[in-house]
Structures are given as C-alpha cells and as structure tokens.
Structure 1
Amino acid sequence: MVRTGGAGRASTAAGPTLAVVAREAGVSVPTASKVVNGREDVAPETRRRVTEALDRLGYVRRPRFDGARAPRRVDLVVDSLGSSGTGAVLHGAEEAAHDAGLEIVVSAATARGHSGRPERGWLDKLVARGSSGVLFNLAELGMSQYAWLEQQRIPFVMIDPVLEPPPGVVSVGAANWQGGVTATEHLLSLGHERVAVVAGHRHTLSSGARVAGYRSALAAAGVRHRTEYVRHAGFDEATARCRTHELLDLPEPPTAVFVCSDRMALGAYEALTERGLRVPDDMSVIGFDDLPEARWLAPALTTVRQPLSEMAATALHLLLRSMDGHHPESTRTELSTRLVERASTAPPRGRPTRGPVRFLQDREAGAHLR
C-alpha cells in the first residue's frame, strides 16, 4: 500500500524509500545511498542534509553486519607501523582488547594529501568492516573526517592527538606540561642555568605544553628565560640536528638542552659529535618519550617517560564505555609522566650539583625573598 504525506511525498507502509529521502534532502538517490552506506566521498553539508532527512522521515537503516552474536570489532588506525612508539601503542591496545574479548584490526593511514591529513576513502573501510569503534593514533584528522565519524555514529577516541580536537571528542594523552617541568627541573638541579629547549611543532598540544612546562620551571627557579634558547624542529631528527648546531653557534651557547622527543635527541647527539663535543661532558641532553632508542644511545639518554602503552589501554577502555552509551565527565584524560635518569645529564663543567633537595630549598628561599 502507498500513502501520501505532506507536500505530496510518498512512502510505503514499511517506511520511506531512499528516493523519498533523496527528494527531501534535495540530492540524487546515489548520493543518499552513499550516506546510508557510510561512504566518505560526500560533502559535509550534503551529508548533514541527508542525515537530517533520514532522521526526520524515520528511515530504517540496515544493520552493518548480520548475526546478533557476531563479535565486536574495533579498529586501531595509526600513522605508521614502523616506529617504536607505534609498537608501544599497539601493545597496550592489543592487551586491553584481549582482556575485553574484542577483535582489533590495525591499519596505517599512510596515504597523504597536500594537507598532511589522510586522504579520502580510508574511512570507508571502517564501515565495510563493520567496526564498532575506532582508536586513532594519528598526527591529524580533518574537520570533514570528524564530521563523517559523528554522522556515521561511530564511537572513537583519539590517542595523543597533535592538535586540539573539536569539543566533545574524547582523547587520551600524557601530562606534557608536568613532563616539561620535570625535565627542566632536573637540569636546573644539576647546576645548569643556560638551558635550551628543542621543541616539536609550533602551536600543537604536546609541544606547546612541554615548552610551557620548561618556561614555568625556569621562572620558578628565578632563571632568566632566553628566547634564543627556544628552537622548533617539528619532531624531525635531521631538523633537530640543525637546531642544535644553531644553539652551539650562539655567543653564549647553552650547557644543557631539553629535547622534546627521543628521536630529536638523536639529532642533537649527532650535532654534538660533529662539533667534537661529548655528552654530557660538554652538554647535557634530556629527551622525552623513553623509546627503546633512548637506552641504545651512548651515553644512554636521560628522558621523561611517556606511558604510550597505558595511554592506548586507557583509550580502549574509554572507547568501550562510549560503545555502551556512556559519556565521560571529561573528554580529556592525561596520564602522568616520570623522569628516567641515565647517563646523558651531569653538572656543567666546574659546577658541583646542587641536588634535588638543595635545588628545591633554593627555589623556596627565592620565593620568600620575592
């Protein structure tokens, strides 16, 4: 039986057809079908109109896969499968998924457009696989991709996002500000006052917070902040090598450097070797991450440990709650960092260490004088 509704729209007793939805949204039937089937190659505004029409008309979508007893499957999408940092994320996510009885599919969004974001099309595969939720450990997602995930009603959690996610997006990261404070305080406690920082990208979450922690620790210790001691290397090893050379070329070069990733610390080591300088005799170096490479360097790298495996496991647990319809009170979860002391830091030449206790006493005394 066919009945007519307002404005002459027709639908069957079982609900509106896709043609009715397309006409309501002002699009073609193939375009409406792309939205219903979770295809990514639809403009965000068009997808919004179709989604609103689907909801308004009560269109019933087919389930993504048959069988009520099919196991739940989640996707973990990473930038690259080749880095040791990704390995730590995989380990944490896999263990948490196993404990929860979930299947986990790992993929790398390696195809890149000019923007540096994953190109269109790879998100379509999530729908084709029938994913119940997604963990993203990517450098960046575009606004259209966030909108696509929202409109497809696919729960997702970001692991260590580089940029601030849109409001409402759940993410897990490290306490980067406190890590920057810890690294800088360690160098100050050894007697260094000329402390530089080689940061990652400008205006990103982790790099900005680590530099802010560095500056806060200097201010708390009454040490002058020098703008020429702040360099950005975009988390690139070769660029960090160049930035370290720039620091060494200053009229008054630093005696210690906080490098905001272990991989960039490799570049700092290389620059110092090229100058005939030794770590830590001529310059102390401290990193951030505690990747396996930190232990392989000679001397072994003092660094701030970022709990990547724990971050991935926490993200998986938050994703499970989101899949069950629960929403966290706070969309941002930060896990603590800690200092791992090795052999790459020491007092500057001719200066005895003040030690952590003496350093804190000096800082408190300075606070009373101000």
Structure 2
Amino acid sequence: MVRTGRAHMTAGPTLAVVAREAGVSVPTASKVVNGREDVAPETRRRVTEALDRLGYVRRPRFDGVRTPGFVDLVVHTLDSSWSGAVLHGVEAAAHDAGLEVIVSAGLPRATPGRPERGWLDKLTARGSSGVLFDRTEPTPVQYAWLEQHGIPFVMIDPVVEPPPGVVSVGAANWHGGVTATEHLLALGHERIAVVAGDRATLADSARVAGYRSALASAGVRHRPEYLRYAGSDEDLAGRRTGELLDLPEPPTALFVSSDRMAHGVYAALAARELSVPDDLSVVGFDDLPQSRWITPALTTVRQPLSEMAATALRLLVRMMAGDRPESTRTELSTRLVERASTAAPRLACPAGRS
C-alpha cells in the first residue's frame, strides 16, 4: 500500500531505533506498536520495554486503524513509466516487510524564509523509519540532517557519485553499453554512433565507456564525431541524430542511452523519410513499456527497475534494523531485448540524405 499525505505526531525516537534497542527487526517492532497478535510473548516484552525506555510516541489512529511503520520514497517525478516501475517494486517489497510508503516528488530546496531542512523536520516529526531516493540528490545539509537523526537512507540509481559510505542500488550500465554495441557489431555494423544523456551522470558515463570498450575489443576505431550528448531530452536527441546523419560518413547504427531519447531519434528519422532499421538500426536502454509500443518495436537493454527498487527497500529494512551492507554499491544485471529496430547494414546506406 502506498500512502500519501501527512501524519502529525510528536518527534521522538524512530521505530528503527526501538527495533535496534530490542534486538528485533523493524517489521516486528511495528507489529507490537500496532497491537498485532502474531508476536512471541518474550519478543513483545522486549519491544514494549524498549518503547517505554526510549519514550517512543505511538502514532495516532487514522480512520480507526493504527498506522504501521513506514518509510519515505522520494522520486524525481511521478509522471513517467520509470517512476511507475520503481513504485511497483518498492510497494511489493514494503508489503512483504509490513511497511507503508509515503511518496513525494522531488526534494525541496532552500528558499528565502524556508530552510531546505524543512522537509526533513517533517520527516523526523512523523517518525519515518527510513528514506529511499530515486534519482534524487539530497543536498549536503540534507545528508547531514539524516545522519544526525539516525535515519537510514538508500539511493536508487543515483545521478552522480554519492558521498563515501552512502548505500546505492543501480544497474550494470557498463555491461549494458557493451552488450548493445556488441549486438550491432554482430549484425555487421562498424559505423556505430551513440547519443548519450549527460556526460556528468554515472549511468551515461558508464554506458558510453561500455560502448567504447566493445568497439576496442572488436578492433573498430572510435570516431569522436560519433559521440553526441542530448541531456536526456527527447527533442534534443532528435536534433543530435540529424547532426549525425549530416556527417560526410554518417553512422549505420545508433546506440541511444535511454528509450525516451530513442523516441526522439525515431521522430528525426521519420522527418527525413528514413526508416528503422532499413536506414539506421537503433538500440535503446531501459526497456520501458513504450519501447514495445512504438513501430518498429525497439531493441533495447533492459535494466530491472522494479527489482532495483525492491532491492533498495530490502537493504533499507536491514539498515533500519542496525545492519550495514558489506558493499555500498549494489548492481543488478542488464540484458539485451532484441526486437525489430536492428538489422544488418545496407551495402549503400542512404542515411545522410535530407
């Protein structure tokens, strides 16, 4: 269950602190707080004593039902298939852990008369047990606030390198870039270009590095003019595609580092009356639902978004119980999904015509 809204309560120790004190998991402590019967008497006694000793304030009832322990999920936007997949994974894992999830889009930033830590004050006041950040970067002040209040947090697919010690979950982006490029090489392409998002992001830099590594392993020269950045913008990806097609020797295949940008590539090709894959083979990255709906269906690298989110939630539950993962970075495997957007290159490729 995903809950949105506000809970008003007195600040105090979090449920994670109580669970740690009693030597139990957060879901078990939550069961005691909410009067569940499926708890051993000795465990209930330890948790109850810890609640009293720490002065834990039980949450008020909502519509006559006690609210179980919950965590916060901060997503970069709610208006995307990406966020839908993340929500699905977090919700399923949270249900298994006996937790609820409060969802918000984006983090508030500092403005005159409104400190950036205001959101975190509310998070502490409502007793949230932990936080998941999906492609959302806390500021240094927000990082410090979470550490100060002992609220564990996990990053899902961080945009930039997190500070040392911060736990994150992502995909094997380098391997995905290798796989996409090797697929095009196996079809006979050597003039392979790439449209990436942002050179400063972890995912894009790793995907481009994988692309270059695959070319080098195959003995194919990397052409600097074949690398373009579009800032993850669909329209800009289309313009970058036009620039590539206007080169004296245009590419016969294109690796695009997101499915969303691949839609812009399709539009740019259609505007020139070029077709996929006859005039240009295209490989995307993500395997969002749209990649199956467009025509032709997009060959893409699947990153397991729901599994990444569920893994992050399970790591967070461990941290809430006082455990610390051995590694701060967890990467889930990617794999190529072949569809209809790739084929062998034409002997005389017309990709450069206007």
TM-score (norm 2): 0.78
Partner in structure 2 of residue 315 of structure 1: 312
Give a deviation string over 1:75-126, Cα, whole Å, max 9, x none.
Answer: 1111111100000000000000001111111111265679xxx955333331
1:299 to 1:164, Cα distance in 2 relative to 1, 3 A: same
Partner in structure 1 of residue 274 of structure 2: 277
Deviation at 1:341, TM superposition (A): 0.5
Partner in structure 2 of residue 173 of structure 1: 170
Is 2:95 the partner of 1:98? yes
Partner in structure 2 of residue 77 of structure 1: 74
1:178-193 → structure 2 map (5 Å cutoff) = 178-193=175-190
Is 2:191 the partner of 1:194? yes
Amino acid at match of 2:228: R
In 1, Cα distance between equivalents of 2:306 and 2:218: 33
Partner in structure 2 of residue 332 of structure 1: 329
2:12–2:57 CA contact under 8 A, matched in 1: no
Q: Secondary structure at the match of 1:267?
A: helix
Amino acid at match of 1:271: A
Partner in structure 1 of residue 119 of structure 2: 122
Partner in structure 2 of residue 159 of structure 1: 156
Deviation at 1:249, TM superposition (A): 1.1
Partner in structure 2 of residue 254 of structure 1: 251
1:136-147 → structure 2 map (5 Å cutoff) = 136-147=133-144
Q: Secondary structure at the match of 1:316?
A: helix
Is 2:298 the partner of 1:301? yes
In 2, Cα distance between equivalents of 1:65 and 1:161: 34
Q: Displaced runs of 4+ in structure 1, greater than 3 A? A: 61-65, 67-70, 110-114
Structure 1 unaligned regions, length at least 5? 1-35, 39-60, 352-370
In 2, Cα distance between equivalents of 1:63 and 1:240: 55
Equivalent in 336, 340, 344 of residue 343 of structure 1:
340
Is 2:281 the partner of 1:291? no
Amino acid at match of 1:160: D
Partner in structure 1 of residue 48 of structure 2: none
1:261 to 1:112, Cα distance in 2 relative to 1, 3 A: farther
Is 2:58 the partner of 1:66? yes
Aligned length: 291
> Percent identical across equivalent pairs?
73
1:244 to 1:227, Cα distance in 2 relative to 1, 3 A: same
In 1, Cα distance between equivalents of 2:306 and 2:186: 30
The structure with higher relative contact order (CA 8 Å, sep 6+) is 2
2:107–2:136 CA contact under 8 A, matched in 1: no
In 1, Cα distance between equivalents of 2:163 and 2:255: 30
Amino acid at match of 1:66: R
Q: Secondary structure at the match of 2:90?
A: helix
Give a deviation string over 1:321-344, Cα, whole Å, max 9, x none.
Answer: 100001011000000001000000
Deviation at 1:204, TM superposition (A): 1.4
Amino acid at match of 2:238: R
1:71 to 1:232, Cα distance in 2 relative to 1, 3 A: same
In 2, Cα distance between equivalents of 1:221 and 1:142: 42
In 1, Cα distance between equivalents of 2:199 and 2:110: 21
Amino acid at match of 1:163: V
In 1, Cα distance between equivalents of 2:116 and 2:263: 31
Structure 2 unaligned regions, length at least 5? 1-10, 14-52, 61-65, 349-354
2:171–2:308 CA contact under 8 A, matched in 1: yes
Give a deviation string over 1:245-297, Cα, whole Å, max 9, x none.
Answer: 11111111100000000000001111111111100000000000000110111
Q: Secondary structure at the match of 2:91?
A: helix
1:113 to 1:252, Cα distance in 2 relative to 1, 3 A: farther
Give a deviation string over 1:197-229, Cα, whole Å, max 9, x none.
Answer: 001111211000000000000000000000000
Q: Secondary structure at the match of 2:119?
A: coil
Deviation at 1:37, TM superposition (A): 8.1
Deviation at 1:316, TM superposition (A): 0.5
2:173–2:207 CA contact under 8 A, matched in 1: yes
In 1, Cα distance between equivalents of 2:332 and 2:322: 24
1:189 to 1:309, Cα distance in 2 relative to 1, 3 A: same
Amino acid at match of 1:324: A
Q: Secondary structure at the match of 1:123?
A: helix
1:140 to 1:345, Cα distance in 2 relative to 1, 3 A: same
In 1, Cα distance between equivalents of 2:104 and 2:273: 43
In 2, Cα distance between equivalents of 1:279 and 1:162: 30
Amino acid at match of 2:328: T
